[in-house]
Structure 1
């Protein structure tokens, strides 16, 4: 039987066809002594099918905490004892954050709200916020506001939202152990509406939540079937007071195998470093992931956890000679 890396070299690198579930499982089972070869192949795939540029994004929470959903990894759920209080930002704060994000060289600024889906108050604030940002700074505006109705999808597109984020979070088979207040299908349906509207879709998930290797591969396979423009890859950062607060950190070796597997599943997709990489991978692992398939980063802090300083990521990109994608090239 052909070695999994040789099959991937022929199918993904040469032909641009992503690996399917059985081969993704084989990648995730590779021995530690083969991780270097795996990352090198994933990097070659990224360079061949995406190019050398890295997309930089900043995010900010418009409405933090008090969410009615019970996503077991999330400290913003109002159902858990995690110490995050409900807070709203005003328009001036959003504009200032967008300007600071643009100053790092970022092309994307994402407005996030901890909600099941937006009500009219939130939609009005997003409407005003997007308009104010567009008038003040040259940057693409993305949103992540939970599950949407068809009318809300149409409105976000009409006001100029460039990209919408809505993660699958976990494989369909593992999802009921992660969330019980809504279904995987509901998330999938919102993602499909966004894709059909013409907005770019940003859709990823979390790994290291207790799922099996097979379910980790299943998530990559499901995302590949959805074909989002961008996949943010998060590593669980266990938050006190949440049901997953006592989960052990994912090993850096498993994290690197996962990065490579996602790249080999989706050779042409923007694969973005998102939450948890600082704890799971550290500085060395962050570097290895950028040389193993990742071609986008969130700079600065996340929604309720601290990230690396933007200068640290930008300096690393410069050291690795990875040019930052210019705004004009993302439009």
Structure 2
């Protein structure tokens, strides 16, 4: 049994992480739960609302993403960047529904200086003025742009690694793993929290999953938030044929992330709507303590707020409404 109070590490090896992923499930969940309780209130589950503020037409070729301009057969309506006033009205609605973090995503390859970025900065400031945490995902950043976001009050920047360095080229060809790491470094240098995780179910091996987690746990300090996404196979994308991830694969990822990154918020993200309340509770036992909350995740379906309310009421979890 691992010591739940042990010193945080940033020197995990891939072999160590893979060994955890392959533990007998009950042993793995038991260890993760002990560590979770040593560092967190087990009833505290953060709710984060996610909004697509600019949809479709992205020049990246990510194989899982319906917003890529490369995937012409995807049925998706492109939308320009939303007006800041409209975004803030939706943020108010999310807060009223119980969300404490408001996340905004724009389908850009990279941030470009100009009016659109200025509008995003206005959105960030407005969300913070509402008393909510603000998170954005905008693609790649330059150092001065990260600083501008920090000056606007940005809480966290979402920039997922997606998968392992070894499997990455099978999924994305338009930017490198190093590109992603550099953007994360710019955010950290600006004092912005990192929201950085990945996706399982894209055809990667267990070793690839361990390698991705090892990269995340190698950050010092660890990312403040790690979303664990289960692939949603979407018609028209290259991964439309992939079978959906089973609950025990998801639980193993959550539990291992909790063990190697004890203080991080581990977030159940895309694919959560495919699992029952009982299956999601197993993830909470394994150390998940954050969810994306709302009917839609950018362009993919999510568990409804009514379903989530019922689930939280049944388990008696604090959701800081």
Query: Structure 1 CA distance, aligned partners of 2:132 and 2:36?
Result: 25
Change (3 A) 1:325 1:196: farther
Alignment of 1:40-55 (within 5 A): 40-52=30-42, 53-55=44-46
3-state secondary structure, aligned to 1:26: helix
**What CA RMSD, in Å, does the superposition of the two structures yield over aligned residues?**
1.7
Query: Structure 1 CA distance, aligned partners of 2:310 and 2:38?
Result: 24
Normalising to structure 2: TM-score of the pair? 0.92
3-state secondary structure, aligned to 1:272: strand
Query: Structure 2 CA distance, aligned partners of 1:235 and 1:244?
Result: 12
Change (3 A) 1:40 1:262: same
Query: Structure 2 CA distance, aligned partners of 1:259 and 1:134?
Result: 29
Question: How far 1:134 moved relative to its partner?
Answer: 4.2
3-state secondary structure, aligned to 1:217: helix
Question: How far 1:72 moved relative to its partner?
Answer: 0.5
Please state if 1:187 is matched with 2:180. Answer: yes
3-state secondary structure, aligned to 1:117: coil
Q: How many residues align?
A: 312
1:36 matched to which residue of 2?
A: 26
Question: How far 1:325 moved relative to its partner?
Answer: 4.4
2:224 matched to which residue of 1?
A: 229
What is the aligned counterpart of 2:291 among 290, 297, 318?
A: 297
Question: How far 1:209 moved relative to its partner?
Answer: 0.8
3-state secondary structure, aligned to 2:239: coil
Please state if 1:317 is matched with 2:312. Answer: yes
Please state if 1:162 is matched with 2:160. Answer: no
Question: How far 1:239 moved relative to its partner?
Answer: 0.9
What is the aligned counterpart of 2:263 among 265, 268, 273?
A: 268
2:55 matched to which residue of 1?
A: 64
Structure 1 runs not aligned, ≥5 long = 1-5, 327-331
Query: Structure 1 CA distance, aligned partners of 2:93 and 2:33?
Result: 30
Query: Structure 2 CA distance, aligned partners of 1:155 and 1:17?
Result: 31
2:104 matched to which residue of 1?
A: 111
**Partners of 2:64 and 2:233 within 8 A in 1:** yes
Higher helix residue share: 1
Query: Structure 2 CA distance, aligned partners of 1:27 and 1:248?
Result: 24
**Partners of 1:42 and 1:292 within 8 A in 2:** yes
Change (3 A) 1:146 1:44: same
Alignment of 1:1-331 (within 5 A): 6=1, 9-10=2-3, 13-17=4-8, 20-30=13-23, 34-52=24-42, 53-80=44-71, 81-88=73-80, 89-119=82-112, 120-135=114-129, 137-226=130-219, 227-279=222-274, 281-300=275-294, 301-325=296-320
**Partners of 1:63 and 1:87 within 8 A in 2:** yes
Query: Structure 2 CA distance, aligned partners of 1:36 and 1:48?
Result: 18
